[in-house]
A and B are shown apart, each in its own frame.
With several copies, the nearest count.
Chain A
Amino acid sequence: MIDFELDEEQQLIKETVTAFAADVVRPAAHDADETGVIPEGLVAQAWELGIIQNSIPEEYGGYGSTPSTVTGTIVAEGLAEGDLGIALHLLSARLVVDAVMHAGSDEQKKEVLPLYCTDKFVSGSAAVLEPQWNFSLSELQTSAKRDGNDYVISGTKCYVPLAKTSPYMVVFARGEEEPIEAFLLKAGTPGVEIGEREGLMGIKACETYPVAINDVRVPASAKLPGSARGLLRRSRVAQSAMAVGVAKASLDYAIEYAKEREAFGVKIAQKQAIAFMLADMAIDVDAARLLNWEAAWSVEHNEDPSREITLARSYTDNAVMTVTDNGVQVLGGHGFIREHPVEMWARNGRGFSVFEGMASV
């Protein structure tokens, strides 16, 4: 039976995350965007929320909640509403944890998961994108070739988050058997060259790096035996949820501003041109969220959730750009000044269709 209600646990998580995003993340967003540095205290505080640990089974040291894509989208939206760059940093562990949980072997689980159950923040990393304008997930240039008991991986990656500090990096490559395969690489694997931190238009708070993978030889056991495609689907949904968070942030800020700001003798929100723009933004945010919920739910319940995910992404990638662009427009000249966060949200909002890699899985 169709039901849009969060269950009690989801509701609780949502409230916790939303409060943290508003009270702790948002106030740090501007400086993190300007300086590229996220305060360590914030990271530690976020870790205490137990978001990552919560999703890891007790046998590996986690709190053992059932990992749920729906819950994941709620967390992702909530944190990204605070700040996208910081959210990506805080949730980076998921790139490794989710990969291992959903596609890892027992050995990989035993090796990796306990590491993410301590009381100190541990980041994770994943190498997906490649530095071509026409990058497409379905045609990865990075290749993985079987050679005896090993795989040899070669290629160039970009937009790899927290590559320098993460104990593990999940590398996606074109395999010989499957078009997309995933490998778990330990930090310091020889042949993995991490370049200078990248400069991007948005998500400046989150470190990303170009990574050259020069004929890197890994044992067959480094391959994640599960579906790499499934992992990418999950991450597409999580990103989409973050896009909704960014759009929501911009909408709410624009509403508040428009109710404060006067022009021509009334609040600008009392002008149809502004008010109707806000209404359309609100409809887009709600519609995108519902589509994302459906996509997340489908990942768990449908055999093939590709249609739901693609519809959600298609809608949300457009919506987040339109909404954040209108967020700037509502503020007019002030929207262009970095004192207000709306321009940052527009820069961040533009990223999603880029992360989508001109492509799907």
Chain B
Amino acid sequence: MNFELSKSAKARKEMFHAIAENMMRPISHQYDEFEHTEPDEFFQMMWQASKANRESSRVAFEDEEGDGAAPDSLKAKKPSENMLVTAIQIEELSWGDCGLYLSIPNPGLGGAAVGGLGTPEQKKRYLADFYDGEPRWGAMAITEPHFGSDSKQVATTAVRDGDEWVLTGTKIFCTAGERALDKSDGFVVVWATLDKNKGRAAIKSFIVAAGTPGVTVDRVEDKMGIRASDTAVITLDNARIPYDNILGTAEIIEKGRAGFGGVMATFDATRPVVAASAIGVGRAALDFVHETLRDSGIEIHYEASRRQMTVLEREVIEMEAQLQAARLLTWRACWMMDRGERNSREASMAKCKAGAAVTKVTQKAVELLGPMGYSRKYLVEKWMRDAKINDIFEGTQQINQMIVARSILGYSSAELN
């Protein structure tokens, strides 16, 4: 048992904290206030850093951000701490700005899918040379207007036509979708069904490159928070892509990791990452509370008598406890993945706790700071707006409760739904 970060993890933490503090915080307010504008300078800096990092280090930068780490570490034989370090880095970046973190040019969730399910050729084509040239984005398009969590409802169709797939449908909630398709030479991994009557097994994912005729970014959503991040609505109208752009087999297989289950398993890697991001936002708010109190000469006494504690002290301690609970659950989920252990339950526990805790923590921070908390002059109110999405995406709190419940009860999705 050990609760100290390794030296290298500490070093990564510091490095990413420096990025967060020096490159993200200074522009955080601006790209929240002016939604749908592009922090080009930040993108360039991150892009150059990623390139440099990629060239100099064994572990690719994009892998460290969770894109490809998951499948790799699942296969890993000897314990690494890739996933844990990923969580730590993402906590730091999200401490800087959660919306900007989600906007960093990289292969993103789309890249993770290619890394996990792609053929060597696909990986080579879409990942190997990703960092060549100008900043690019990869994205993932799952959700459609008529469904949210119930992803077996995918209605976007993929029909084979000779050497091509023809995709038709509408996708929403596609993070970085506009940047991937319209603002860079990126790609989006689109979920579509080969046969609506065959349910989950017929759902496949397809790589759709920027510039594909028939693909339109209809709209970029106005959001409550994480406004620096683009959330696109994408229409595919008889969009033709090469036959080779399907991820995995074109066969409709009912069971196993090659099928829908495999797709769902990527959540085991992405949920702790979202949890870590949530924790970063919560910590930003808590740090600001501590700082403000310190400026007023108030230190939190962790061993004060509970009877004499002010409401303020008690609240701050409870906020910290919630955040630390979420962090340890998240680290455990990462640690298990690093050891090659299946972590669906733990990943959902972490995500569920982190989403709920950080929503509460940031709401409390606004309350505790009163007129300062509610003012857009400071970032606390922004963090409250940023936090809430973490209680929703990559599975709502309720979806994650469901997964935890099924796991502890030993129930199938037919038994508990």
Contact = CB atoms under 8 A, between A and B. Distances in A.
Q: Do A and B touch, yes or no (CB under 8 Å, in the complex)? A: yes
B303 A287 contact: no
Grouping DSSP codes into helix (H, G, I), strand (E, B) and loop, the B interface class, with mixed when no group exceeds half, is: helix
Contacts of A307: 302, 320
A12 interface: no
Interface in A337-352: 337-339, 343, 346-347, 350-351
A314 B322 CA distance: 9
B305 A137 contact: yes
Most chain B CB within 10 A, of A298, A318, A359, is at: A359
Given A2-B4, A276-B402, A310 B381 contact: no
Interface string A196-208: 0011111000000
B1 A329 contact: no
Grouping DSSP codes into helix (H, G, I), strand (E, B) and loop, the A interface class, with mixed when no group exceeds half, is: helix
A248 to B, nearest CB: 12
Contact of B411 (A134, A270, A338): A270
6 contacts: A202-B374, A279-B408, A286-B332, A306-B303, A314-B317, A338-B223
A335 B385 CA distance: 12
A2 to B, nearest CB: 6
B385 A315 contact: no
Interface string B37-78: 000000000000000000000000000000000000000000
Interface string B300-342: 0011111110000000011011101110110110010000000
B366 A315 contact: no
Contacts of A212: none
Nearest to A344: B224
B3 A294 contact: yes
Interface in A283-307: 283, 286-288, 290-291, 293-294, 297-298, 301, 306-307
A3 B328 CA distance: 11
B246 interface: no
B305 A138 contact: yes
B239 interface: no
Contact of B84 (A2, A286, A312, A360): A2
B212 interface: no
A333 B308 contact: no
A201 B385 contact: yes
Given A134-B370, A263-B149, A297 B1 contact: yes
B261 to A, nearest CB: 17
Interface stretch (B188-196, B252-260, B390-398): B390-398
Contact of A2 (B5, B373, B404): B5
Contacts of A280: 401
B263 interface: no
B9 interface: yes
